[in-house]
Amino acid sequence: MGNDLINYESALDRLGGDTDFLHELLGEMLGQIDSDMETLIEAVENSDFKNVQRIAHGLKGASANLDITRLFHLFKKLEEQAESETVDGAEVLISEIRTGTDELRTFVANL
């Protein structure tokens, strides 16, 4: 079930093959993204680079831990933009993050 969205096999291997636990963690990840998105969008709109960086960094780390490859790269780009104190292109990244999140939600629902 590997694709550019998530390396499911790697994430499963990291958790010792515990599919129930992985599915629980993926659900928690979706909840975390959902709860952080409004704050993240507000921070981008206000050019609040510190908060954009903080939120993107946290979600990047969580994505990495669960091998959610595409979201990892998107959050990393957003974090790097915030470090450079620019939000140019951030709206495109947020749109891509929303799409990736929707795809992850569908992926998890079909597990």
Q: What is the 3-state secondary structure (H, E, C) of 21-81?
A: HHHHHHHHHHHHHHHHHHHHHHHHHCCCHHHHHHHHHHHHHHHHHCCCHHHHHHHHHHHHH
pLDDT attached to residue 3: 61
CATH of 8-109, picked from 2.130.10.10, 1.20.120.160, 1.10.1050.10, 3.40.50.1400, is: 1.20.120.160
Phi-psi region of 2 (alpha: psi -120 to 50; beta: other; left: phi over 0): beta
pLDDT tens, residue by residue, 38-72: 999 999 999 999 999 999 999 999 999 999 999 99
Model confidence, pTM: 0.92
Q: Which amino acid is at 36?
A: D
User: Is residue 99 predicted with pLDDT exceeding 80?
Assistant: yes
pLDDT exceeds cutoff 80 at 33: yes
2 versus 65: which is more confidently predicted?
65
Coil, helix or strand at residue 85: coil
Indicate if the pLDDT at residue 5 is higher than 50.
yes
CA gap 37, 6 in Å, rounded: 20
Domain ranges within the chain, ordered by starting residue: 8-109
